[in-house]
Amino acid sequence: MALTSGTRLGAYEVLALIGAGGMGEVYRARDTKLNRDVALKVLPEAFALDADRLARFQREAQVLASLNHPNIAAVYGLEESSQAIAIVMELVEGPTLADKVKVGPVPIDEALPIARQIADALEAAHEKGVVHRDLKPANVKVTPEGQVKVLDFGLAKAFTADAADPNLTNSPTMSLAATRAGMILGTAAYMSPEQARGKTVDKRTDIWAFGCVLYEMLAGTRAFEGDEITDILAAVVRAEPNWGLLPAETPPAIRRLLRRCLEKDRKERVPDIAVARIEIKEALTTPAEITGSVPATSPKDAATASGRWLWSLAGVAAVFAIAAATFATLYLRTEPVVPPVVRFQVSPVKGSFIVAGNGPRMEISPDGTQLAFVAATNDGTADQLWLRRMDATEISPLPGTEGAVNPFWSPDSRSIAFFTGAQLKRIDLSGGPPRLVTTDPGGVEAAGVSTGTWNRDGTIVFSSTGIRGLHQVPSNGGTPAQVTTLDRSRSETGHYWPRFLPDGRHFLYWVNSTQPGNRGIMLGSLDSKDTRLIVASDFAAGFAPPNHLLFRRGSTLFAQTFNLESFQLEGEAVRVADPVGAATTLARPGFSTSDTGVLVVWPVASATAAGDTELAIYDRTGKKLTSLGTSQYRGFDVSPDGTRVATHLHEASGGGDIWLLDLERGTRPRFTFDALQDNSSPVWSNDGSRIAFASLRAGMWGLYQKPADGTGQEELLFESSTPKSPSAYSPDGKSLLFENVDPKTRNDLWLLPLEGDKKPVAYLRSPFFEGYGQISPNGRWVAYQSNESGQRNEIYVRSLSNLTGKWQVSIAGGTTPRWRHDGKELFFGFNQRVFAVDVEAAGDGLRFGAPKVLFESAYRNPGHDTPSLPYAVSGDGQHFFIPTAPSISASADIPLTITLNWTSALRK
């Protein structure tokens, strides 16, 4: 049904019709709760009874909700009523790109920045596995500030879309064929050849449409014209654009890019939109005089002169490597194009990828083309090795490998070694039965923990039962020789999971110890008995050429540069995947890497990490904006500028350190460096220069501070035998409010001067619990939590200086207050709900509004010794950092996640 001005859909009041598209009508509406204008995309009444179209419309909301990018129009929610169903979307002001092109060609210096932003939006969607499928100028808006917003991802589908429909009239782009032929003509002009033929589409369809849009901006006319749909589709399939219409000043690189985007054969087309983004960026920054010239000739001539794309059946990883290299050659690059990151999943077959207590049982080959894994035999009576090529969907059993566990590859990817019982065996993929390499020198069945690595000299280093350290043996068989010896002074109990480094002489391994602080990743050598601790860790590490060490903290996989000359870690650790599974510390790590940039991850949280939480950012409506990863977060605070989060990451073995989550760069540098000290409860100073934290050292609880940039030494502020934690700096940075646990008065609030005698004084000390104190931005008031009512915790505010003036802010319960940075709003939580209270000055006191529920939160407090702040709010009060239960739980049916060119993400 058509909606008229004044119609109400929930909290939204319709103001006017903006336009209509193939999947719905769009109205301007007023959000009466938040006092802002929004766009309501409403499903036409004619489609409401069509179950398929209705499902597609609801799916549009889910797709949009997963896309969080400045160049993609945001979705706020889904509103359903008896009158209509509508997606509540960001209202984007400004003309569409179609409006701009109607005036004439868009100047190059304006068109290229627009195209780059479109490419950015598509790249973000493609990384989420989403294809737009209906990109055209009418679906692109340009705000008065020049920002691009791509609209209408409602026609998008995941890469694993349903089978192609040969009936073109069933295409979503043809939804309103009966009434909107003009619209269909417009849509058809941007269809890719495979889309026009009704074939299955993928992200290369968007790349075609992107080429059409860029051509139209520059030429001022569509790349493919026609009076009827059939004429347009025929041109799409057979004709070439009029390249002579491009402006003479069009950079040669952009001409070549357009031709590659508009290749009829999608195998010959630009393989990833990131390539287009990079080309445009370089065209905007490279002087025209050094780019040469390219005549406006046929793309076939250019292709013949430059060479064709080469596609190999040696595996998906090889395909992308060849594509990247060929593209670099094609464009005469002095630097190679960064290959795109591609992710997909492989589901369990023939049983599970995991076995109870031992984690995933799989290994990617060094060349990245094959996956070896352990699963049940066809009759289900035992486990055996199976093989899956990355360019195939079938799996093949390896006869004679019954009882196999923990496979590892030869460096040439032609053989697989594995353990069965107390024996180490190998099987060559060229044929023949498995051969015995050696028997475990431990003399017992150690298959559950026996692991190995193989170098190019034909030497295998493997772990025994652990009591004798690591051993080496020739890959063709022989008597094992001991390589490492347990260090009893460190209470070591075993050496496991060796991994050769590129020189084939040094290797990494994981050492277990009854002293948690001595567990970690070690460096060993075939040529020396000397060993070195690389990094403390409760789990084994991996290595990926050329120089990345991969290790697990909590449930998150990190990568960090590893200098192969000094054998030291450099730079900052970068999050790679989350969550990453491992059933126990002795179990196989939940990831595997090839030498060619393939990463395999078992995305299951650790079964032993009962305290794991997922830290995510939510907006004021409770919409989840992004996840910061899963780990044992125990207290955190956001920097005043909103760019970093300081958090205590608890170790499974006890204790923990403080880490800084850099929200802009995606890195996670460490802030403290001794987990045994249990460094916790970080709090930022108001100017962002310092971080205060608590630490338990030699039985004494202390308050410390340290420069936030990591330079300088830790400063002990105060210590005593009772647990304590910082709550807030005063705005002038001259004092610190902290909590102290007193056996007589429970939890109290104290003030610690940071100048003068630095002797703490009690601020609130009573038989009740007073905690989570937060000083107002003007330094006059303290908001805190107390159970003084005798019924439940409530939020109170009182003067910082003289205790005169006191208000109860919450009405029916409240915990953990947080001020907005202008002091005009106070937030608190209760019963998994987030509340906001308006605050205004009233003479010498304050006036508080009624508490308002912002959203429901599945907040999870994992428990801790000191009352760290369990959630955080950005200074403007728009973003909430909340820990919840991990969204993925351990299951034998969880598929593996395969990432190609994963190191490309580290370069961004």
Residue positions annotated with a catalytic role: 134
Contact 370, 377 (CB under 8 A): no
CA atoms of 880 and 896, how far apart (whole Å): 31
Among left, alpha and beta (phi > 0; psi -120 to 50; other), residue 697 is: beta
CA atoms of 853 and 810, how far apart (whole Å): 11
Q: What is the 3-state secondary structure (H, E, C) of 440-484?
A: CCCCCCCCCCCCEEECCCCEEEEECCCCCCEEEEECCCCCCEECC
Copy the structure tokens of residue 398.
């390896």
Q: Which helix (H) or strand (E) holds 560?
A: strand 556-563
Beta carbons within 8 Å of 46's beta carbon, 6+ residues apart: none
534 closest CA partner among 554, 507, 497: 507
Q: Which helix (H) or strand (E) holds 183?
A: helix 181-188
Per DSSP, helices labelled H in 252-398 are 252-261, 273-285, 299-306, 316-330
- 277: DSSP letter: H
Give φ, ψ of 321 to 5 degrees: -65, -45
- Long-range CB contacts (< 8 A, 24+ apart) of 212-216? 212/136, 212/262, 213/97, 213/115, 213/118, 213/135, 213/136, 213/137, 213/140, 214/111, 214/115, 214/254, 214/257, 214/258, 214/261, 215/241, 215/246, 215/258, 215/262, 216/101, 216/137
CA atoms of 229 and 216, how far apart (whole Å): 18
Q: How many helices (H) and strands (E) does the chain have?
A: 13, 60
CA 594 vs. chain centroid, Å, equals: 21
Q: For residue 759, what are the CA distances in angstroms to 28, 781, 803? A: 60, 21, 20
Q: What is the 3-state secondary structure (H, E, C) of 747-766?
A: EEEEEEECCCCCCCEEEECC
Sequential DSSP letters for 223-265 = SS--SSHHHHHHHHHH----GGGS-TT--HHHHHHHHHHT-SS
426 closest CA partner among 412, 414, 436: 436
Cis-peptide into 407, omega within 30 deg? no
Q: Which helix (H) or strand (E) holds 57?
A: helix 51-65
Q: Which helix (H) or strand (E) holds 53?
A: helix 51-65
Among left, alpha and beta (phi > 0; psi -120 to 50; other), residue 739 is: beta
Beta carbons within 8 Å of 65's beta carbon, 6+ residues apart: 75, 623
Sequential DSSP letters for 104-146 = SPPPHHHHHHHHHHHHHHHHHHHHTTEE-S---GGGEEE-TTS
CA atoms of 715 and 705, how far apart (whole Å): 5
Contact 521, 569 (CB under 8 A): no
CA atoms of 271 and 343, how far apart (whole Å): 14
* Residue 812 burial (CB count, 10 A): 11
- Long-range CB contacts (< 8 A, 24+ apart) of 370-376? 370/315, 370/413, 371/346, 371/600, 371/896, 372/407, 372/409, 372/416, 373/407, 374/404, 374/405, 374/407, 375/348, 375/349, 375/350, 375/351, 376/350, 376/351
Beta carbons within 8 Å of 145's beta carbon, 6+ residues apart: none
